[in-house]
Amino acid sequence: MTGFVDGMAARDLPLSVFHFDTFWMREFHWCDFEWDPRTFPDPAGMLKRLKERGLRISLWINPYIAQRSALFAEGAAAGYLVRTPDGGVWQTDRWQAGMGLVDFTNPAARDWYAGKLRALLDMGADCFKSDFGERIPTDVVWHDGADPERMHNYYSYLYNETVFELLREHRGAGEAVLFARSATTGGQKFPVHWGGDCESTLESMAESLRGGLSLAMSGFGFWSHDIGGFEGRPDPAVFKRWIPFGLLSSHSRLHGNSTYRVPWLFDDEAVDVLRAFTRLKARLMPYLFGAAVTAHREGVPVMRPMVAEFPDDPACPYLDRQYMLGDSLLVAPVFTASGQTRYYVPAGRWTHLLTGEVVEGPRWVTETCGFDTVPVYVRPGTMLPWGAREDRPDYAYADGVTLRLFSPVDGTRVDVPALDGEVAASFTVDGTRVRRTGAPAPWRVQLPGQDPVDIPAGVEEWALPE
């Protein structure tokens, strides 16, 4: 485990969160929330050392209690597990022997479950991957008498709500985050969700995007997926094609089932590709975090189907292999090993963020991409905030920010957020000038094809060249 963390650092690969999946607990004890002492004899000390390296900690959980776990007897005796019509504890052997299911319609059961997680937060965990929640039986009796058919879907809401509210209580407003698999109506209040266990193929990569866009159209603001796929081992081409897609999503995670997803196990180029796109995402964080604030306050998702931004364009309702990231970036992942790809650009003068190439839409574009690039275009009229750091995603976004101008019109405005979601600085195109408001800090302006212009702290406007 520490070898992975050391390997990322040695290769200058930014890393923010380390996740412990299933086997942080003993096999056949999922979930008793106890570290496996054979592998982790000093979990508190280990977490302390990881956090001293600037990492946040995520732990895998689910709502099942295996019969071998001591928590099974505790939960059954207290009435915290779902019951059968004859009064017994409902159990299943589908995953582990004799698993029971926590009854989140019982307030006492919710408190009991949250209490087990609270001890892990006190130890140093920062968030939880709330797995499962979808295999919910309908031949059972719930504590509050709920309709079993309704609870089949609603269970995921109560489960994720329990975990999310605990995190909000423990970490404070704006700091709670899950990595949830199952959801139902209203579940967008408990982000983040990911696409589940996809195959490690290019076809599954495209299917994952299609599912994410469907989730976005259902009102979910944040979405992620396993870079490289979950089941099986991706070949190097699949892994390298997945990296740009993964980093140009709202949340990004390297994860797999039976094989590891660290890039140096594939080839040196995979390391370079991951480094480049991780740094790109860090630079884009003033823009992406602004999109996240919009998702939180207005419900508009960070990743958007093309039709959501261009409802009057007759081509856009059918596009499921590209998307808008926020309101100003068009992303078209490459789903072929050869790099040959085809995507649609709506009306206007769009600029490739990485190459500076300009495409005049509406039109279809066919090209062949290397592993080190991906079609990502800036919408005409954009003032894109470009961060000063590329080594981590959380920093003071307004300090040293560069405003990259792509033919902005009079009145174009961008708000650069602080980490609490409030506006740290605002920039507006006012006639022939860019004006800044907010606490004094240095900033820069950059026109396409030109070097950025440094503007010192205290200077609140800059004249656009004629």
Return the CATH fold of 1-300. Answer: TIM Barrel (3.20.20)
- Residues found in the chain: 466
- 217-254: burial string, b at 16+ Cβ within 10 Å, e else: eeebbbbbbbbbbbbbbbebbbbbbbbbbbbbbbbbbb
Q: If you average pLDDT over residues 150-164, what whole number do you get?
A: 98
Domain with CATH 3.20.20.80 in the chain: 1-300
Catalytic residues: 131, 134, 197
Token pair of 273, please? Answer: 């590709």
Rg of the chain's alpha carbons, rounded to an integer? 24
What local confidence, expressed as pLDDT, does residue 466 receive?
76
Task: Give the architecture-level CATH label for domain 382-463.
Answer: Sandwich (2.60)
Confidence of residue 2 (pLDDT cuts 50, 70, 90): confident
Reduced to 3 states (helix: H, G, I; strand: E, B; else coil), residue 113 is helix
| CATH class belonging to 304-378 | mainly beta
Domain with CATH 2.60.40.1180 in the chain: 304-378, 382-463
pLDDT digits (tens, 9 = 90+) for 78-134: 999 999 999 999 999 988 899 999 999 999 999 999 999 999 999 999 999 999 999
pLDDT digits (tens, 9 = 90+) for 198-240: 999 999 999 999 999 999 999 999 999 999 999 999 999 999 9
β-sheet bridge partners, residue 178: 128
pLDDT digits (tens, 9 = 90+) for 381-420: 999 999 999 999 999 999 999 999 999 899 999 999 999 9
